[in-house]
Amino acid sequence: MQSGLLIGSHRVLKLMASETRITLRYNGPSVDDGTLPIDDVVSALQGFSGAYNKVSRLRGGDLEHELRVAAIKTGSFEMVILAWLVLGQAPGALQNLELISDVTRWVIAKIFSIIEVKKHVKNKPFDISVKGDSNTIVVINAEGAELSIPPDIIELIREKTLDNDLNKIVSPLQPHRIESTEIIAESEDQETLMEIVTSEEREYFSPTSTVTTRETDITGKFISLNKENNRGTFELPNGRHVPYRYTGPNPENFPLQFARKGPVRVSGIATFNENLEPTQIEVKSTSHLQHELPL
C-alpha cells in the first residue's frame, strides 16, 4: 500500500507499508482468553514504539518510520504491528525504495541484539571490549562470559537508551500468569526473526539502581581466577563475593597472588551500588596483609 504526490513530472512516494509484519505476543494462563489489562497494552506498545524509533535513527537519511496497530488476535494475546515508511519529499528519495523491504527487519534485528545483551549481563555490571585484529566487539558480563554485538549499538547499550522501553514491553510478565512475550518479524521469502523473554528473565530488564565509581582501597581475599582474562571473584570482609578484573602491571605475574594465603588489600577502581557496597572491582595493584601474631 502506498500514497504519494506529484512534483513536476516525478511521482514521489510519501508513505509505504513495509512488507515485514511485526507481532507482539504474550503467553500464559492469564491471557489465554485473549485479553490483557489496558494499562499493560498501552505500556507495551509505548515501549516497543520507543525502542523501534530510537534504533531506526541509527540509519539516518530521509526515511522515517510510523508504527500502527493492525489487529489484535485472541488465543494468548497478540498484537500485529505494521511499520509504515515515510520517504523524503524529493525525487532523489525514490532511490531509497529498494531498501524499504529490509529496513524494518534491520531495526528489529538491532532491538533483538540489545535484548540479548540484557539477558547476557543479567542487570549486573559489564564491560565492552574490542577483541583481536578483526575488531570484534564483545560485551563481557560479571562472570567473564562474552557476547559479540554489532558495533552500531554500542552507544545505545552504554547510554541505556532502550532500557525504559524494553522494561515496558516485558512489564506484564509474571510467573504462572503471563509467562513469556514474543516479538516476531515475518516477511515473505525471508527467515522469520523472533525473540522471546520469559517471566524468569523479567528482572534482567528492570531499571538498574544508581551506581557510583571511584578509586579506592578494599580489603578481602581472592577466591577464583580465570588466567586467560585475569578475572575472578573477590570476597569482601562481610563474606559477600563480587567480580574483579586485574588491569595492573605485569599481568602474567598476577596468578602468584594465589600462592600466598591470607587477606589482601587491593587498590583500583570500584563500582558501588546505592548502599555504597562494592559490586565490581578493577584491580590496579595488590598487597598482602600480615596475620596478627598470637600472644
- pLDDT of 253-263, one tens digit each? 888 888 777 88
Q: Above 60 in pLDDT, residue 3? A: no
Instruction: Report helix, strand or coil for 63.
Output: coil
Q: What is the mean pLDDT of residues 112-134?
A: 87
Of the pLDDT bands very low, low, confident and very high (cuts 50, 70, 90), residue 142 is confident
Please state, in angstroms and rounded to a whole number, the distance separating the CA atoms of residues 100 and 85. Answer: 7
Q: Residue 154 belongs to what H/E stretch? A: helix 154-158
For residues 219 and 194, membership in a common domain is answered with no
Of the pLDDT bands very low, low, confident and very high (cuts 50, 70, 90), residue 61 is low
For residues 172 and 44, membership in a common domain is answered with yes
Could you give the percent of the chain with pLDDT greater than 90? Answer: 39
The region of weakest confidence among 102-111, 205-214, 256-265, 286-295 is 286-295
The beta-strand segments (E) located in the chain are 2-7, 10-27, 64-74, 77-86, 127-131, 136-140, 146-148, 180-186, 193-198, 212-222, 231-235, 241-246, 264-272, 278-288
Q: Above 90 in pLDDT, residue 170? A: yes
Q: Above 90 in pLDDT, residue 164? A: yes
Q: Which long-range contacts (C-beta less than 8 Å, at least 24 apart) are formed by 151-154?
A: 152/58, 152/110, 153/55, 153/58, 153/110, 153/113, 153/114, 153/117, 154/128
For residues 65 and 176, membership in a common domain is answered with yes
Q: What is the pLDDT of residues 199-253, one digit of tens each?
A: 999 999 987 655 678 899 999 999 888 888 888 889 998 888 889 999 999 888 8
The parent domain of residue 180 ranges over: 2-120+150-205
Q: What pLDDT is stored for residue 20 in this prediction?
A: 84
Q: What pLDDT is stored for residue 157 in this prediction?
A: 92
Q: Residue 55 belongs to what H/E stretch? A: helix 38-56
For residues 159 and 217, membership in a common domain is answered with no
Task: Show which of 182, 205, 228 is a domain's final residue.
Answer: 205
The region of weakest confidence among 17-26, 46-55, 280-289 is 17-26
- How many domains would you assign to the chain? 2
